[in-house]
Amino acid sequence: MKNLLVFVFLFFAGWSVHAQNPYAQSPVSWSFSSKKISDKIFEVHLTANIQAGWHLYSQDQPDDAIAAPTNVKIYNNPLLKLDGKVKEVGNLEKYKDKILGISAHQYSNKVDFVQMIKTRSNAKTNVSGSVEFQTCDDKKCLPLKTVNFNIALK
């Protein structure tokens, strides 16, 4: 019986620490997809769905920003060629804190990061990479987080 009580105590203590751990919070869920535009041209979509009250930062930040910008990395693949830069599709919010005097470009609810990709041949291949991002609410910012992706181009 004593062992059972110790187990139950440790279980709930660990659960409590996990619930308070900032790394355990995930206010952003990601989905990854591709869309064929023409014979060898694809749009790759990295879509962030952001919980209410939270925001995600744009790739481009003002000079006075202290927030970490979102960084999309696409790994080298000899069968692919990137066509332009990653574009952001969403409602960009230009935030200015009057007390601290800092600015930020951010998104709430949803943002879609879109990269155009050309394939060098008709061979089936994948595009892979990572998204590094930071999320904040009105009270706190979570540490940077990285999410990897691997998307089939069909």
Q: Domain 27-153 classified CATH 2.40.110.10? A: no
Per residue in 47-98, pLDDT (tens digit) is 999 999 999 999 999 999 988 999 999 999 999 999 999 999 999 999 988 8
Q: What angle do CA 107, 56, 74 make, to 5 degrees?
A: 105
* Residue 22 vs residue 43, higher pLDDT: 43
pLDDT for position 101:
84
Q: Can you say how many angstroms the Cα of residue 108 is from the centroid of all Cα atoms in its chain?
A: 12
* Residue 10 vs residue 146, higher pLDDT: 146
Locate the domains of the chain by residue range: 27-153
Q: How confident is the model at residue 127 (pLDDT cuts 50, 70, 90)?
A: very high
